[in-house]
Amino acid sequence: MDAQDVLNVVVIGSIYTLFALGLTLSWGVLNILNLAHGATFMFGGLLAYLVTKDTALSLWIVLPISAIACGLIAVLLEVVAYRQIRKRVADLHASELATMIASIGAAAVLVALAEVITENQLVGINPETFNVTRTEIFGIGITNLEIVIVVMAAILSILLVYFVTRTRHGRALRALAQDPYTCGLMGISQNALAAATMFVSGALAGVAGVLLAMQLNTVEARLGEPLLLKAFAVIILGGVGSVQGAIAAAFILAFAETFTDVYIGTSVRDAVAFALIILLLLFRPQGLFSRVAWQRA
Amino acid sequence: MEWFSDNETLIQAALAGAILAYSFQIAMRAGVFTLAGVGFWGIGGYTTAYLVTEREWMTVPAILVGILLSGIIGLALALVLGRLRSLYLAMATVAFVLLVQIVAINWEDVTGGAGGMFGIPVTISTWQLLLVVAVVSVALLFFERGARGRTIEAMRLDEQVAMSVGINIVRERDLIFVLSSMLAALSGGIAAMMFNTLAPEQAGFGLIVDTLMMVVIGGAAAWWGALVGAFIVTWLPELLRFTGDYRGIVEGLIVVLVVVYAPEGFVGLVRRVTGFISGRRKPVGTPFADDTATVMPDAKHAQPEAALPEGAER
Amino acid sequence: MTASLLTLDDVKVHFGGVKAVDGISIDLEPGKLYGIVGPNGSGKTTLINAVSRFVHLSAGDITLDGTRVSAMKPFQVARHGVARTFQAIRLLPTLTVRENVLMAVDRKPDAKKATDAALERLNLTRIADEYPDNLPYGTRRRIEIARAIAPDPKLLMLDEPIAGMNREERAEIAEVMKSLRDDGLTQLLIEHDLRIVLNTCDHLFVMNFGKKVAEGPPHATAALPVVQEAYLGRKHDVDA
């Protein structure tokens, strides 16, 4: 593996991070296995395409637009589907499964919508949104877009970690994860927190979607699918609900995949994520980084 | 009847799909949320197709080998993944399915690679398929009765209670897992010998989604739910043809609506109606909704999420 | 002294930092009704969860009728003759009363007879084909007890069986327990209602902070200062 490969790891890891952060939020905080996350992510890129189709807009305008729109999509799902399920289904396991299936349906809707909009073609975001240039740092070729990706991932990660560990609302999130029942007693509106969490989750997906769409230069309806399972690998590797864990795990996965790519072959690269999932769930289901002891009172 | 011959392909697809749906249902009914059936569908299908086309085996023995192989792999998988619960198990089994898919794409000598296998002889007729489905249906009908039926309910609804009355949960789950994998392999073997081609992309996430839909829409609480669901889901594209390009959107919406507002599926609806008429209603309590839950809130919600439940170690 | 039916030998159950059960040693003689009392959080439920093997033993041993059960799986312990009820009534809503009880003896040859006998004993025969959710709380608790005794266990553990019941229902359950004891069933009862405990139990254990702080004949033990303290708090706290 050479320096260029290492750079790839960093870039890919950053994208995985952005994608997984949103998913780890919804799963870790709300117990929602949001399989529509991939489709939301894809939609972020799609919206960027739509918005810039006829007018060139700067990336820095497109990003917030996609972020907000995707955040709203996620909130919509929460209000229309997930919350309804929570209300109607008493058993925790059953509601988790039902939510997962509902998210599959929602993903299907988004993907189908994307297929209609793109007329099943590959489309690309208007290149004028961002002028991609290549530079060399220490002999490694890197584009300014890749720098943006890495920096954005870093900033958003740091912000999220800070929020969850240091602020009052962030800690409330963790309280919610432990015991939603008590939250009601404490006067924290579970619904408002859920909506806010889903909004952030969706927004992160949107940002990741735009950036990846720009990096790959394409958007297509099924863009989110392969990433979904990798995101699960990341979350399980890092420990459900652990933001720091997800970040570390994203880079570990990126490393493992690049390693496989270089030394074994591309065709099995995707298998790495799946194998990791199975191995992790077998031997260390709580993830590499989450602290021990589920407290049983 | 002319209708049958006009719609024969759809009927075949529905019946073959029903067997796979049965394999999902039998597991979910017992609280084992495995989606690995699609992987075994692939294993059964490819095994059968390979034996018939490359080794010139007869159909029935080939399918049986596929079933046996899947049973063995299913047992191994159960031993390895059996402690996992709900979402974690679901995801691990999805990972398994995708791994199988990757093997199918890469093991070109046996599976024909990404392009798949073509020109597999069609050796199963619709009537034979109907017979198989009938036999499986009857078997499941008896399976869900009596002591076995009670064990299944206990497994799904309250494992600790089941353990406290002496039910060996781990072994029961393994058994269900193996049965599910063998049924799935049967479905795959039949599909291979009826539909002429077999490609890796068939045995992937799309099939998982379709089959889940069959169980959800049909309802998992009774054996016939999967059958009804299979027909509904198979016919849905036909029925929704008028929506044109928007068909995918409508299908997705239907799924969401069913899961949220009718989570017990068709079976649940029928039971509500018959209960209404007869005045006495058997509670449905499917994997997706337990509208008769007597669980006190703090007992369930105060538990932090864990992949492994208490007491069910190997 | 008759051979002990259940022996707990310095049993400890620690969860991370929490010492739920911290070195409990108990001997249960067959055919007696034992009570465990103690404030909330004293580890009573965890103790019987340890016997049922729903939790790991961090240390110590549990022996049932000569057989070491500390390493068994929960279903094995059940098959060795340990039955229990739970703090929250746990019945299967999709099975009838009869089926709920039948479930406990499915593997036995005389399942139907055992079920009918258990139903009869708990006065449930009339409603045997109803579904539990429509039935009153006290009745549901009786179904749970019927399920527990149907397989003719050696040991019956009851976790706060009469919580939420009125006076009459409590007395009724107390009578059931006494009659089971008279038939030779060993019982271990966790309960808060001291009156019922004093009325029914042959022997009392008192727990606090995961330890056994007292044991002995019910009335005498309940009067001990250490027991009063456990329930009411230290004297000077009450005065202040």
Closest partner residue to B169 among C75, C103, C106, by Cβ?
C75
Residues of B with CB below 8 A from A290's CB?
Answer: none
Q: Provide the pLDDT for residue A203.
A: 94
Q: Provide the pLDDT for residue A293.
A: 24
Q: Provide the pLDDT for residue A185.
A: 66
Task: Chain C: list its partners (3+ Cβ pairs within 8 Å).
Answer: A, B
Q: What count of CB pairs under 8 Å joins A to B?
A: 174
Q: Contact, A157 vs A85, CB < 8 A?
A: no
Assess if residue B313 is contained within a domain: no
Query: Cα–Cα distance between A229 and A231 in angstroms, integer?
Result: 5
Domain A3-283 has CATH 1.10.10: no
What 8-state DSSP symbol labels residue A172? H
Q: What count of CB pairs under 8 Å joins B to C?
A: 93
Percent of chain C with pLDDT over 70: 95
Residue with tokens 């008769």: B292
* A297 to C18: CB separation less than 8 angstroms, yes or no: yes
Q: Provide the pLDDT for residue A96.
A: 83
Q: Which residue of A has its CA nearest to C13?
A: A296
Please tell me the number of Cα atoms within 13 Å of B285 on its side-chain side. 23
Closest partner residue to A295 among C15, C41, C55, by Cβ?
C15
B91 to each of A35, A222, B64, B87, how far by Cα in Å? 11, 19, 28, 6
Q: Contact, A183 vs A175, CB < 8 A?
A: yes
More confident position, B168 or B1: B168
Q: Is residue B138 over pLDDT 50?
A: yes
- Among B106, B100, B84, which Cα is nearest to B45's? B100
Residue B27 sits in a domain whose CATH number is 1.10.3470
Assess if residue B22 is contained within a domain: yes
The whole-model pTM stands at 0.85
CA-CA-CA-CA torsion for B152, B158, B161, B163, nearest 10 degrees? 60
The CA R_g of chain A, rounded to the nearest whole Å, is 19
Asked if the C-beta of B153 comes within 8 angstroms of chain C's C-beta atoms, the answer is: yes
Q: Which residue of C has its CA nearest to A291?
A: C16
Assess if residue B113 is contained within a domain: yes
Q: What is the mean pLDDT of residues B125-139?
A: 93
Sequence-ordered strand ranges (E) for C17-148: 18-28, 33-37, 59-64, 67-68, 82-84
Q: What is the mean pLDDT of residues C213-238?
A: 75
The tokens for A226 are: 């392969």
Asked if the C-beta of B96 comes within 8 angstroms of chain A's C-beta atoms, the answer is: yes
* C131 to B165: CB separation less than 8 angstroms, yes or no: no
Which of A3-12, B261-270, C51-60 is predicted most confidently? C51-60
CB atoms within 10 A of CB B184: 34
Q: Which of residues 191-210 of B touch A (CB under 8 A)?
A: 205, 209
C110-130 confidence digits (pLDDT tens): 899 999 999 999 989 999 998
CB within 8 A of A129, min separation 6: which ones?
A48, A52, A56, A57, A58, A59, A62, A214
Amino acid present at A11: V
Residues of B with CB below 8 A from C95's CB?
Answer: 150, 153
A216 to each of A16, A146, A209, B53, how far by Cα in Å? 14, 11, 10, 41
Q: Provide the pLDDT for residue B99.
A: 86
Q: Is residue A182 over pLDDT 70?
A: no
* B87 to A296: CB separation less than 8 angstroms, yes or no: no
What pLDDT band is residue C237 in, cutting at 50, 70 and 90? very low
Q: What is the mean pLDDT of residues A95-121?
A: 87
Handedness of CA C183, C109, B175, B156 (dihedral sign): negative
Query: Cα–Cα distance between B36 and B237 in angstroms, integer?
Result: 25
| A123-159: b (≥16 Cβ within 10 Å) or e | bbbbeebbeeeeeeeeeeebbebbebbbebbeebbee
What pLDDT band is residue A147 in, cutting at 50, 70 and 90? confident
Assess if residue B311 is contained within a domain: no
A184-198 confidence digits (pLDDT tens): 666 667 788 888 889
Assess if residue B207 is contained within a domain: yes
Q: Provide the pLDDT for residue B85.
A: 74
Q: Which residue of C has its CA nearest to A296?
A: C15
Q: Is residue A177 over pLDDT 70?
A: no
Asked if the C-beta of B99 comes within 8 angstroms of chain A's C-beta atoms, the answer is: yes
* A100 to B289: CB separation less than 8 angstroms, yes or no: no
Assess if residue B309 is contained within a domain: no
The tokens for B88 are: 């974690």
Assess if residue B183 is contained within a domain: yes
The ipTM of this complex is 0.88
Q: Which residue of A has its CA nearest to B307?
A: A285
Which domain, by its residues, includes B21? 2-292
CB atoms within 10 A of CB C66: 9
Suggest the residue from B153, B157, B165 to mutate for an interface test with chain C (most C CBs closer than 10 A): B165
Q: Which of residues 143-172 of C touch A (CB under 8 A)?
A: none
Q: Which residue of C has its CA nearest to B167?
A: C75
* A295 to C55: CB separation less than 8 angstroms, yes or no: no
Assess if residue B32 is contained within a domain: yes
Please tell me the number of Cα atoms within 13 Å of A79 on its side-chain side. 10
Asked if the C-beta of B303 comes within 8 angstroms of chain C's C-beta atoms, the answer is: no
SS3 B174: helix
Q: What is the mean pLDDT of residues B177-189?
A: 96
